[in-house]
Copies of this chain bind each other. A is one copy, B any other.
Amino acid sequence: MELTGTNLIGGEEVQGTGTAFQGVNPVTGEALGPIFHEAGAPEADRALVVAEVAFRAYGHAPAAERARFLRAIADELMALGDAWLERAHAETALPLARLQGERGRTVNQLRLFADTIEEGSWVEARIDPALPARTPPRPDLRRMLIPLGPVVVFGASNFPFAFSVAGGDTASALAAGCPVVCKAHPAHPGTSELAARAIARAARATGVTPGVFSLLHGWSHEIGLALVRHPLTRAVGFTGSLRGGRALFDAAAARPEPIPVYAEMGSINPVFLLPSALAERGEAIAQGLAASITMGVGQFCTNPGVIVTTADEAGERLARDLAARLGATAPGVMLYERLRESYVDAVGRARERGAEPLAVAATSSPAVPAALLATDAATFVADAALREEMFGPVSLLVQADGPDELQRVAETLEGQLTATIHGTGEELREYAGLVRVLQRKVGRLIFNGYPTGVEVGHAMQHGGPYPASTDGRSTSVGTAAIVRFARPVCFQDFPQGTLPVQLRDRNEHGIMRMIDGVLTRADVGSPA
C-alpha cells in the first residue's frame, strides 16, 4: 500500500497545486513520507461538481445499495490491516491498542448505519390520504426525508479513524444518500489517504458511482473555507476547535444561500461531586476522574475539564487524592506540536488568572504533564477566562461554599456536550434544581459515571447548546445523526407508481410510518 500524497477526486488521483507538507511523528519530530500538496480552489470545485453529478444517481439509489456500500467500506478498512494502524500510530502517537479499538468503533458505526437504512423508518414517512368528500376536499399528502446533496466533512485530529475520513459524519451522510467531500486533517494525511482509498475501492466493488467520495488535503484554512463557500455544498460536518468551527459557521451563514453547519467544538464537561457521594466513595471517584482526565492524553471532546465540589472535608480529601494521582501520571505525547503548545499556553493562562496548581506531573518535551488546577467558585463565576476549554490532560477543581454556590457555578456555564453528577439517589432528588439547570446546558447528563467514552448507539446525544456545537438540535454520534443530512419533501396527489417506495400505499419494506397521525407499519387503507 504505497502512499501517493495526492488528492482523491471521485476515485481519481489528483495532484494538489498548493503548499507542500508532510505528516510528522509527534514523538520523534521526524517528517513522514510522502510529500502532500494542499488542494486549491480548482480541486475543491472539481470535487463538488463530481459530487453533485454523483448525487443525481446516488441520492435516489435504493437503501439496499447504499447499505452494501457502507458495509464494503467497513470491510475495506479492515482489509487495510496493520498498515493503517501503524501509519496512524506514527502520525498521532496514539497507542496501537487504542487505535485498534477505534477502528472497531469505526467499522461498527458504518455497519450500524447500514442496518438503519435497511430497516428504513428513519425517513419519517407521513401520509395523510385524500379526503375527497370533505369540504374543502383534502388532497393526498405524503412526506418523507430526502438527502440534502453534497456534504463537506472535516476530518478531526483526535479520532483519526472514528471522526475522520471514514468516520461518523461521512458514514451518516453516505447513509442518508449524500456524496461526501472530505477535507483531511493535516496531522494525519497518510492515515487519511489510506481510508479514502478504501472508500474508493468499496465504491468500485459495489458499483457505486465513484463521485460519491473525494478526499482533499489541506494544511491552511483556505481550502476548508473554499469548500464551505462552494455553491454546490449543501451541509458541513466538523469536529474541532471553537475558533475553527465558528469560522466555518460564519462563512456558511454569510453565503448568498446559507447552509447548515454541524460543528462539534468540544466543551469543559463539568463534573459535580455532591457531598454524600464524595463521603461514601471519594477514592473511587478520584480514581475514575484521574483515568477520565488522562485517557488519550486528555484529547477527548468529553474530557472532564472542570470538577466542582463543596469545600468540606470530603472535598479536600478528593482534591489531595486527585492531585496525587494526576501528579503521578506518566507523561504522554499529544497529537501534534501545535496542540502541545496550545495546552501549555492554556494551563499557563489559567495559572495567571489565579488558578492554583495542585499537581503538575513531571515530564520532558515533547510529552506534556497532566495537571490539576484549583480555584474557588466565586473566582470561577467572576472570570469567564477560567471557563475556557484547556484541551489536554488537565482539570480545574472548583470549590463551592454549599449548594447555592454549586448551583451558581452551574448557571454560569455555557453550552456543554456533557455534565456529570456524582451523588446518592437522595442527593439527586435534593439537588433537583441543579439537575434542571444542567439540563438546559448540555446534550448529555451523566449520573455517577464519567463523560469520556461515547457509546455509538441509538440513544446517544453528542452535541449540545452553543458553544459545544453550532446546532444543539442534532447529534454527531449515533444513528440519530442521519437526519442531519436530510430534509422533508411532500408529494401532493402523486400517482402511486411515481411515488418513492416508502410513500406508496403498500408498505413494501414494512417501515414505521405516520398515517393520518397514527404511527403504524400497516399499509395505507388496511387496519393498523
Contacts and interface: CB of A to CB of B under 8 A. Distances in A.
Contact of A458 (B432, B470, B516): B516
A472 interface: yes
Contact of A257 (B415, B459, B475): B415
A266 to B, nearest CB: 16
Contacts of A414: 257
Given A250-B253, A455-B141, A457-B138, A445 B491 contact: yes
A348 interface: no
Contact of A460 (B143, B146, B436, B498): B143
Contacts of A442: 489
Contacts of A10: none
A253 B471 CA distance: 11
Given A461-B143, A466-B257, A480-B143, A447 B489 contact: no
Interface string A112-128: 00011001010000111
A139 interface: yes
A385 to B, nearest CB: 15
Interface string A149-188: 1000000000000000000000000000000000000000
Interface string A465-476: 111001111110
Contacts of A84: none
A258 interface: yes
Contacts of A257: 414-415, 465-467
A5 B216 CA distance: 60
Interface in A442-466: 442-449, 453, 455, 457-461, 465-466
A447 B141 contact: no
Contact of A492 (B445, B514, B517): B445
A445 B490 CA distance: 6
B139 A449 contact: yes
Q: Contact size class for A? A: 35 or more
Contacts of A115: 517
A136 B478 CA distance: 17
A449 to B, nearest CB: 5
B461 A488 contact: yes
B444 A490 contact: yes
Contacts of A429: 497-498
A467 B488 CA distance: 16
A127 B455 CA distance: 13
B143 A459 contact: yes
B459 A142 contact: yes
Interface of A: 56, 60, 115-116, 119, 121, 126-128, 136, 138-139, 141-143, 146, 149, 249-250, 253-254, 257-258, 260, 414-415, 425, 428-429, 432, 435-436, 439-440, 442-449, 453, 455, 457-461, 465-467, 470-475, 479-480, 486-495, 497-498, 512, 514, 516-517, 519
